[in-house]
Chain A
Amino acid sequence: MTTTLYTSDHEWLAIDGDVATVGITDYAQSQLGDVVFVELPKLGRTLKKAEAAAVVESVKAASDVYAPVTGEVLETNPDLASEPALVNSDAQGKAWFFKIKIADKSELGGLMDEAAYKAHTA
């Protein structure tokens, strides 16, 4: 059973036990435009909540993606290197960025559910 939560910086987290799969929201990709490059965090790196974890580059600009929670990077999405445009076509599905082992579940308390995120981007 997974729960999806959102940050005010437009990242999503699908939480399954103590592992969160992280990506950027469909709203975020629509604002960024055509994604041409994604830089992902190194495996095993421990990210602090709100730290720059990844970079998504459109034709126009580079934007940071922040770690929504503190934890160790367990896995990164190999498909984004060869097909960065996946971020535009399937932001909240195939274009997940990385999986992180959640160090402190209390950090999830400040995140939004889908209804709250929808209101945030309305």
Chain B
Amino acid sequence: MLARDDQDSLKRTPLYNLHISLGGKMVPFAGYDMPVQYPAGVLKEHLHTRNAAGLFDVSHMGQIALRPKSGKVEDAARALERLVPQDILAIAPGRQRYAQFTNAEGGILDDLMVANFGDHLFLVVNAACKAEDEAHLRANLSDDCVIEQLADRALIALQGPKAESALAKLCAEAPAMKFMDAGPHKVAGIDCFVSRSGYTGEDGFEISVPAGDAERLAKALLENPDVMPIGLGARDSLRLEAGLCLYGHDIDTTTTPAEAALEWSVQKSRRTGGARTGGFPGAEKILAHFDHGASRRRVGLRTEARAPVREGALLFADASSSEPIGKVTSGGFGPSLNAPVAMGYVPTHQSALGTKLFAEVRSQRLAVQIAAMPFVKNTYKR
């Protein structure tokens, strides 16, 4: 009942030794040997993050600097707008925004964070996509930008209601930051890039730190009794409860931003009638989906039964029909809700909140209901 993966040739983050010393159970993830959980276990780690603060090693993610050859950050922003449907020019210095790289068919190549650091843009991309993203940026933006993969930096997320007080002990400026503020700050005397953001639905921070200082910083944060190390298992259950997409599962090269219910992330200026409408890969299809609607939509799902409905489960309109109408793209158990939660795609005309559907789990049809996301209320400090 238990599978073991080949541990050879896996990359290690700068916090690998710390994970081992903390008793982390290591698993392969996106080519890295990463802690899926620590001795406390996924349930306790999840709840601790919601109640106090959790520390996550997300150093496997890609950190990329986009430096304008002209020296003007607007030129890097204008260049990046050729690859994403977001308004990058509108990101003020010291702020960041969620974005997606799109393809010619209107699908999503990756989702990312874009921060304006005043003289350049700072991007955080998914681990599994970082090589392709870098190549994509080089192929399309090299005339205007110098693209630098910041492989010598670790990334630490500190999330939860006690994240602010924990970070404030090492970085006096942290409490003054608002949700999606981002910029260089000294943390424990180390030159870091800090953003007030995360992937849990909680208030919190992501801290980019030079690789050689990462363990010292992580240990300094973990000295605080409010802070517990959290593995990838709880990272996934936290983001699922927060209704956040996991690339390669809930969004991929076949889902447009409108289908993925990510309308909020595409600003008016890039839409039909906007000041800089279109001009990104797949614009025609992506904008048509915004203007005329898409035929399917990502929705949240709750169940009545205790059995988790997981990725790949087919969705049906009733208990006996043979034709599925959709599919679950992420699903599991939500420890804060003490109940299963899932998300998936259904036809738009069957996507209204409260719609009753059935999910097939081990040949049984379980009643599910379309529910609002996030499943657990966000606590971002706006």
Q: Is the CB of B333 within 8 A of A37?
A: yes
Cα–Cα, bound, A102→B362 (Å): 26
Instruction: Enumerate B19-53 residues with CB–CB distance to A below 8 Å.
Output: 36-37, 41-44, 46
Q: A59-B333, A59-B335, A60-B233 are in contact. Are A37 and B307 (CB under 8 A)?
A: yes
A12 adjacent to chain B (CB < 8 Å): no
Cross-chain contact B332 with A60 (CB below 8 angstroms): yes
Q: Does A66 contact B (CB under 8 A)?
A: yes
**Known pairs A34-B41, A39-B307, A39-B362; A59 contacts B233 (CB<8 A):** yes
Interface string of A1-40 (1 = CB under 8 A from B): 0000000011000000000000010001001111011010
Question: Cα distance A65–B2 when bound, in Å?
Answer: 10
CB of B306 closer than 8 Å to a CB of A: yes
> Is there an interface contact between B307 and A59, defined as CB atoms closer than 8 Å?
no
**Residues of A contacting B333 with CB < 8 Å?**
36-37, 57-59
Point out the residues of chain A lying under 8 angstroms from B362, CB to CB: 39, 55
User: With contacts A33-B41, A37-B306, A39-B362 known, is A59 near B1, CB below 8 A?
Assistant: no
Q: How big is the B interface, by class?
A: 20 to 34
B2 touches A33 (CB 8 A): no
Residues of B with C-beta under 8 A to A57: 307-308, 333
Asked whether, in the complex, the Cβ of B308 is within 8 Å of the Cβ of A62, the reply is yes
Closest chain-B Cβ to A120's Cβ sits at a distance in Å of 12
Q: Which residue of A lies closest to B305 (CB)?
A: A37
Q: Are B1 and A37 in contact (CB under 8 A)?
A: no
In the complex, chain B residues whose CB is within 8 Å of the CB of A24: 1
The residue in chain A whose Cβ has the minimal distance to the Cβ of B233 is: A60
User: B310 interface residue, CB < 8 Å from A?
Assistant: yes
Contact B42 A60 (CB under 8 A): yes
Instruction: Assess whether B37 is in contact with A10, with CB atoms less than 8 Å apart.
Output: no
Roughly how many angstroms separate A63 CA and B2 CA in the complex, as a whole number? 8
A79 within 8 A of B: no
Give the distance in Å from the alpha carbon of A91 to the alpha carbon of B331 in the complex. Answer: 26
Chain A residue at smallest Cβ distance from B335: A59
- Distance in angstroms between the alpha carbons of A75 and B308 in the assembled complex: 24
Given known A-B contacts A39-B307, A57-B307, A33 and B1 have beta carbons under 8 A apart: no
A10's partner among B1, B43, B332 (CB-CB below 8 A) is: B1
Chain A residues whose CB sits within 8 angstroms of the CB of B236 once the complex forms: 60
With CB as the reference atom, state the residue of chain A lying closest to B240.
Answer: A59
* CB of A88, distance to nearest CB on chain B (Å): 8
A39 CB to nearest B CB, Å: 6
Other-chain residue from A9, A34, A36, A39 in contact with B1 (beta carbon distance below 8 A): A9
A64 is an interface residue with CB less than 8 A from chain B: yes
By a CB distance below 8 angstroms, the chain A residues around B44 are 34
CB pair B310 A65 closer than 8 Å: no
In the complex, the answer to whether B1 meets A66 with C-beta atoms within 8 Å is yes
Flag if A62 contacts B310 (CB, 8 Å).
yes
A115 to chain B minimum Cβ distance, whole angstroms, is 21
Residue of A nearest to B237 (CB): A59
Beta-carbon contact of B36 and A60 below 8 Å: yes
A1 to B36, CA, bound (A): 41
Digitize A49-72: 1 where CB-to-B-CB distance is under 8 Å, 0 elsewhere: 000000101111111111000000
Residues on B with C-beta less than 8 A from A36 are: 43, 306, 308, 333
- CA A55 – CA B363 in complex, angstroms? 13
- Residues of chain B within 8 A of A62, CB atoms compared: 308, 310
Chain B residue numbers with a CB within 8 Å of A28 are 1-2
In contact, A65 and B1 (Cβ under 8 angstroms): yes
27 contacts between A and B (CB under 8 A): A10-B1, A33-B42, A33-B233, A34-B43, A34-B44, A36-B43, A36-B333, A37-B306, A37-B307, A37-B308, A55-B362, A57-B333, A58-B42, A59-B42, A59-B43, A59-B233, A59-B234, A59-B237, A59-B333, A60-B36, A60-B42, A60-B236, A62-B310, A63-B2, A65-B1, A66-B1, A81-B306
Pairs of residues from A and B, 3 with the lowest C-beta to C-beta distance, nearest first: A34-B43, A59-B42, A36-B333
Sample of 9 more A-B contacts, CB < 8 Å, known A59-B46, A59-B332: A33-B43, A34-B41, A34-B43, A39-B307, A58-B333, A59-B233, A59-B234, A59-B237, A63-B1
